Amino acid sequence: MTTTSTGLSALRTSDTLAADADAVDAAMAASGDAHAFERLYRRHVNRIHTLVRRMLGEEVDDVTQDVLIRAWQKLGSFRGESAFGTWLHRLAVNVILNHRASRSRFRRRFLEEPESGLEAPARSTQPAVQVDFEAAMERLPDGARQIFVLHDVEGYRHEEIAGMLGINAGTSKSQLHYARMALRKHLT
């Protein structure tokens, strides 16, 4: 296949078109078009499912479905001021956190000091443990893992995370630091 430079310019516009398809499908889904909502589902399910898996680690399929069902119910509140993906992601974070908050285990573990699973943070260099990075993330304590996912993977700021979790920004920073110090030993 050969394309001219002008042809490549057209392709760049097409990339933008694909992203913009979300906005149109969201408007159609808000009017009751389930096929439009299925297109949104196909484009975003991997990201939402992965977010749920990293933050919860259990009941992933059920919570992912819950996120999407709530998205369908709340589509009327999507005004297009942000990208649909951003709106859906924030909704997913809220659903995940509510799911967690409903469990006393989460609250107990979050308020406690970081627990075992990985060594306590230390400056000294330990022998690297050859485990998958994602598996190492799963072994982090709930609080540190969620803050690591929200900050380093998803790009939220400490102030935003503090607001979501009902903690102060300093706690968010120290949990993130714990997670990074623990995970650095698992990079191969």
Partner 1 sequence: MTHPSSEQLSEYLDGVLDPEAEREVVGHLAGCAECATLLAELRRVLVRAQALEDLPPREDLWPGVAAAIGAAPSRRWRVSVPVPLLLAAGVALMLLSGAAVAIALRQQTPASPVAAQPGSLGQAPAVAASAPDDARGYDAAVRALTRELDQNAGRLDTATVRIVNQKLGMIDRAIAEAELALTADPANNYLHGHLAQTRLRKLDLLRRAAAIGRAVS
Interacting residues with partner 1 (CB under 8 A): 1-4, 6-7, 9-11, 13-14, 16-17, 20-21, 23-24, 27-28, 31-38, 41-42, 45-47, 49-50, 53, 60-61, 64-65, 68-69, 72, 79-80, 121, 123, 125, 133-134, 148, 152-153, 155, 158, 173-174, 176-177, 180-181, 183-184, 187
In the complex, least distance from residue 52 CB atom to partner 1, rounded to whole angstroms: 9
SS3 state of residue 87:
helix
> Rounded CA gap, 125 and 47, in Å?
34
Say how many C-beta atoms besides its own lie within 10 A of residue 114's C-beta. Answer: 21
In the complex, least distance from residue 128 CB atom to partner 1, rounded to whole angstroms: 10
- Exposed, middle or buried, 76 (CB in 10 Å: 0-12/13-18/19+)? exposed
> Rounded CA gap, 187 and 137, in Å?
11
In the complex, least distance from residue 116 CB atom to partner 1, rounded to whole angstroms: 20
CB nearer to partner 1: give 10 or 111: 10
